[in-house]
Structure 1
Amino acid sequence: MSPDSQHSLSATRLAALRRELAGRGLDGFLVPHADEHQSEELAPSAERLTWLTGFTGSAGSAAVLADRAAIFVDGRYTLQARQQVDTRLFEPRHVTEQPLSAWLAEHLAGKRLGYDPRLHSQSQARRLQAEARRAGGEAVAVETNPVDAVWDDRPAEPAAPVVPHPLAFAGRPSAEKRAELADRLKAEKLAAAVLTQPDSIAWLLNVRGGDVTQTPLALSFAILRDDARVEWFVAPEKVAGPELQAQLGNGVILRRPDELCEALESLGKVRVLADPGSAGAWIFDRLAEGGSEIVEGDDPCLLPKACKNPVELDGTRAAHRRDGAALSRFLHWLEETAPSGGLDELGAIGHLAGLRAAGERYRSLSFSTIAGSGPNGAVIHYRAIPATNRTIRPGEFLLVDSGAQYLDGTTDVTRTIAIGSVSDEMRRRFTGVLKGHIALARQRFPAGTTGSQLDALARMHLWQAGLDFDHGTGHGVGSYLGVHEGPQRISKVPNSVALRPGMIVSNEPGYYKEGAYGIRIENLVAVVEDARPGDEKPMLAFETLTLAPIDRHAVEPALLSAEETAWLDAYHARVRESLSPLLDGAARAWLEQATAPLIG
């Protein structure tokens, strides 16, 4: 769809929404990029923000009033929002520098702003209500979503089948996980915990689904009891087959999704755990209606899911070897093909997808591949479409951020490739990003350290040059689950969750020059114990999981220290040793050259 066509659609839809709001006695409405589970990747039926504005990023929100509207995005999406959204209809705002609270303070006085309590966590709803009050207005929870009322061709709710996730990949039986969590509930005198995040339920029950593109989830809710029983609220048509039924066993009780409201209220006067950061505000309303004593705390699955067991770690190592071989074949092909000038971004994306799809245990991509050439690489979460598709040209960088879902692991890797010779400035910037990547990869740190305490390591060399990047340095990654997973992260944003052995996190510093080029170097790493003689504290370190060459042609060797050069050479030696047996012919010969010592 052309930008003009999308803008015309947005104008029509915005007008329809405003008429619906007026009919309900509302002055405005907040449209988040969210579903009932606070998911990052949404089913088509939940893409309300995209339907209204045309914006396709994975995070953001729109605020609509009768006479004005705005879209709020973070630094990853500021350029994308301006490209996709009609800025005559929606004022683009940086969510940190120009937050919703400031916009409400300017425009909400005396007005009623509606919000859907199923699409806002309890914490978000409380914050919105407080901001509305400070602005002299009111935030009003709606019973039904007004966007849905005017979305005539809204897609049906997804109904993909649920499948067992074998013990050979999960590492621990579901019954064992349920019993362990139930013991924790009993120790805290909790009768039950409400689970609203599909990845938590998938991990707990050892199941996977297909309701969300590129993430193997079944959209559902669950209540975990202190006797290890689970009530699973899932569409019956998704759950079939003797193998799945046998794995679930008698400890999992299947119930229809429309029974959840009654089940929450019927828990009665007991202590119930619910996560205000992820559970919808309506969950808390229903628990309160039933008289439960609500204990606010983290989803009990978060930490045990994040700390991968030995089977999961071995699986992700194997997945990264196969993924690295596919990526190396792609990089070899790219070096041969791109300099001629006949290749574009969509062609590169399609070729890489085909190489991955041929791999053992492959199930899907883990997210839509980002392939940004030249100035498109400066759009942090750029997505190539026919209207933006560029030819890959000599003298430019091509930034490729991609990954896949395998039965035994989830991958996410970014490589920035110099197409032919690039400028001295580009090589200096690339090397600055690489120095930050190496600094983080090499760091040892005491147990109890958080990702926010390590974040500056990835930025310090850029800071010295007066540069920075406007995104986090690292996000958690699941085991054949979400490519973005909490609670751990590496970011400027404070985080109280310490890094623990078994956690997988990305290491992805970058630099983006608007209108010119983008650079990002991303590997996934696992947190491991790193005891050495003389240590006075338990120490941890990172094991790099990703195996793929880093473009030596983009490096300025004189800017690397001896230790940094040694790290890069050692990494490339490991890549060569690990991937050579999986390659042959010209691809293997190319890998030998691509992983040769930097100086020599």
Structure 2
Amino acid sequence: MTVAERVSALRSLLHEKNIHAYIITSTDPHMSEYVPDRWTTRQWLSGFTGSAGTLIITQEKAGLWTDSRYFLQAETQLAGSGIELFKMGTAGTPTQNEWLSGELPINPNVGFDGTCFSVAQTRELKNKLGDLGINIIEEFDLVNEIWESRPKLPNQSIFDHEVSYSGQTRYSKLLQIRKKMKECECNFHFVGSLDDVAWIFNIRGNDIDYNPLALAYAVIGIESATLYLGEDQISNDLIQKLTEDEIYIADYGQIFNDLDKIPGSASVLLDVNRTNLNAFYSISANIVERENPSQLLKSIKNDVETDGMKNAMKKDGVALTQFYYWLEENIGKTKITEFTVMGKLKEFRSLQKNFKGESFGSIVGYKDHGAHPHYSTTPESDVEIKAEGLLLIDSGGQYLDGTTDITRTIPMGELNEEEKTDFTLVLKGMIQLAMAKFPKGTRGCNLDILARQALWNRGKNYGHGTGHGVGCFMNVHEGPQSIRQEIKDQALLPGMITSDEPGFYREGFYGIRHENLILCCQEETTQFGEFLSFETITLCHFETKGIIYELLTPEERQWLNNYHQKVYDILSPELDESHQNWLKEKTKAI
């Protein structure tokens, strides 16, 4: 079926079941960013392949809401579908709930799949549309009724993430969780988010592209815990190890029945942002609503994880040096396209020890494609890269000891003054944030201006956040910390690893983004309090031919020279002579 035919088929079901609007999110029953094929429902129905977006189908209209990262992509992919694009955050664009308020009758029936809608989302929907007397219909997965060849649940092997990589036993992690449960006077803790389950129990899997996770739920009690997963996905050896820590295995599909069996006199700790509505409704016990304790605990990397992340950065740096050497040697001599670059990036990374895959789909945007912050190359959009213009490459790897995420913008030929200016302004912002020194208790929103100031001074800006948390052989995007303009209460703490990635985008021409990962560290304690700083842990050179040196302050230039010396010192022993000589030239002081 075409997109228009799929929308029409769903609309017929709306009329049949007297549902006035149906909402399809981008997530799965675990509120994941990346989802198994079975839950790519919004993509299947709309044709829009971006990782973030919400589709709403009414009996007469259809709309899709997404953020600035995907505006250009969504315009292209929705063309001719009959689905209207709503650009979130832009002037005059209604929110989803504002649009629904204008489209729905009094006492409307609004439907969605209750396993793919969080408790928090449901409450917001009811709150915003309360004046209409909204009726929530959450029991129908309508897309399932029209998706004839819908993929089945993934069934990949689950494996132990050994303490030599995690730095902490699952038993000690459970002690920390139970301490938080005790503080909240809870007998049980329900965990529905996959990264939390993976971190607490030191397990990893391959059920989702890019994130080394397994489909699983968990219920943690005071003395024992139960993991709900595909029972044929886990070995007897790992089951035995888990049993030694009073962790037992149950079938993935049994979770809702077992939640219903929790005694009404008990109290259950859960995170309403990471719990689907059906799981919430299955619990008749008292519910205590808090953020999953593991969110903060896993964001603060221990010494083993920190060392592992740095080792992963070194391996990644070697692979990237080999890749950029290859690119420079071959450009103009053989046909190289965006797809070619994506394949070569993965090839060079795969040569490194304990490489387990990419941490997200590589963003390779040549010239005007780079102006799409989350551009995704397709067979139709793939273009040849030549010795001219700007090439933006945002990529990352998953290794047993860590996760990487790096962006470099490469001048493929001589740049004009405007291109060089923008290139340098973005670099200034990245360096200013990397050099930050700040008192303990500072939040990411307090530091975001450092990355934007050079651009703001020229009347320029970018529409995405500046930094996200990064997991350790885990999700490339994790919380609770972030660096962005929106206010978020979580302070930056020693041990947190966050991206530093300002950008600038000229629609129709080029995009520029520079990204390193930064580790929050103790700096010093003075009479005015405790101060923190960042250590840049990504290891890869910047192309200095894109820089206008005069725009850098002496401190920024010194930072760049010191960084380049560090890159050379750490990576050169891992390289052969030709790559060493090439990297020495790329990292020479300016």
Q: What is the TM-score normalised by the length of structure 2?
A: 0.97
Query: In the alignment, which residue of structure 2 is the partner of 1:122?
Result: 119
Paired residue for 1:260, among 255, 269, 272? 255
**Post-superposition CA distance 1:537-574 (Å, at most 9, x none):** 11111111100001101111010011110000000000
Take 1:87 and 1:147, find their aligned partners in 2: how far apart are those partners? Answer: 21
Aligned CA distance change for structure 1 residues 139 and 86 (closer, same or farther; 3 Å)? farther
Q: Which one of 491, 497, 502 corresponds to residue 495 of structure 2?
A: 502
What is residue 364 of structure 2 aligned with on the other side? 371
CA contact (8 A) 1:363 1:406 kept: yes
Following superposition, the deviation at residue 133 of structure 1 comes to 2.7
Q: Distance in 1 between matches of 2:89 and 2:213?
A: 30
Map of 1:177-188 to 2, 5 A cutoff? 177-188=173-184
Conserved? CA contact 1:122–1:276, under 8 Å: yes
1:249 and 2:249 are equivalent in the alignment? no
Cα deviation for residue 189 of structure 1 reads: 1.2
Report the counterpart of residue 560 of structure 1 in structure 2. 552
Per-residue CA distance 1:4-23 (angstroms, 9 max, x = gap): xxxx7101111111112222
Shift of 1:105: 2.3
1:48 alignment partner in structure 2: 41
Structure 2 counterpart SS, 1:194? strand
Pairing 1:71-470 to 2, within 5 Å after superposition: 71-86=64-79, 88-97=81-90, 98=93, 99-110=95-106, 111-134=108-131, 136=132, 138-227=134-223, 229-267=224-262, 268-287=264-283, 290=284, 292-340=285-333, 342-470=335-463
Is the 2:109–2:137 contact (alpha carbons within 8 Å) kept by the matching residues of 1?
A: no
Change (3 A) 1:340 1:420: farther
What is the deviation of 1:84?
Answer: 1.3
Write out per-residue CA displacement over residues 494-545 of structure 1, whole angstroms, 9 at most, x where no aligned residue: 110111111110000000000000000000111111116x452111111111
CA contact (8 A) 1:49 1:62 kept: yes
Whether the aligned pair in 1 keeps the contact of 2:118 and 2:273 (CA below 8 Å) is yes
How much has 1:246 moved relative to structure 2? 1.9
Cα distance in 2 for partners of 1:224, 1:50 equals 34
Paired with 2:428 and 2:527, the residues of 1 have a C-alpha distance of: 26
Distance 1:47 1:213, change over 3 A: same
State the aligned residue count. Answer: 585
Q: Is the 8 A contact 1:170 1:206 kept in 2?
A: yes
Name the CA distance, whole Å, in 2 between partners of 1:538 and 1:448: 9
CA 249–347 in structure 1, closer or farther in 2 if over 3 Å, else same: same
1:72 CA displacement: 0.3
Amino acid at match of 2:378: I
Task: In structure 2, give the amino acid aligned to 1:277.
Answer: N
Q: Secondary structure at the match of 2:175?
A: helix
- For 1:77, what is the secondary structure of its paired residue? helix
- Using the TM superposition, name which of 388-397 and 194-203 deviates more: 388-397
- Note if 1:38 corresponds to 2:38: no
Aligned to 1:4: none
Q: How much does 1:104 deviate?
A: 1.1
Gapped runs of 5+ residues in structure 2? none
**1:515, 1:369 → 2: CA distance?**
21
1:543 to 505, 528, 535: 535
* Structure 1 CA distance for aligned equivalents of residues 313 and 271 of structure 2: 33
1:208 and 1:518 map into 2 onto residues whose CA distance is: 35
Distance 1:139 1:119 in 2: 18
Q: 1:55 to 1:370 in 2, by over 3 A?
A: same
Residues of 2 paired with 1:494 and 1:282: CA distance? 30
Question: Which amino acid counterpart does residue 395 of structure 2 have in structure 1?
Answer: S
d(CA) in 2 for partners of 1:67, 1:112: 14
Deviations 1:259-278 (A, max 9, x none): 21122122222221111111
Matched-pair contact (CA < 8 Å) for 1:330–1:351: yes
In structure 1, how many angstroms separate the alpha carbons of the residues matched to 2:514 and 2:254?
47
Q: Under a length normalisation based on structure 1, what TM-score does the superposition of the two structures give?
A: 0.95
Q: Which residue of 2 aligns with 1:3?
A: none
Question: Which segment drifts farther, 429-438 or 245-254?
Answer: 245-254
> Cα distance 1:566–1:339, how it changes in 2: closer, same or farther (>3 A)?
farther
Q: Read off the aligned partner of 2:30 and give its amino acid letter.
A: H
**Percent identity of paired positions between Structure 1 and Structure 2:** 35
Deviation at 1:139, TM superposition (A): 4.5
CA contact (8 A) 1:115 1:139 kept: no
Name the amino acid aligned to 1:220: A
Large movers: runs of 4+ above 3 Å: none
The answer (yes or no) to whether the contact 1:109–1:137 under 8 Å persists in 2 is no
Which residue matches 1:62? 55
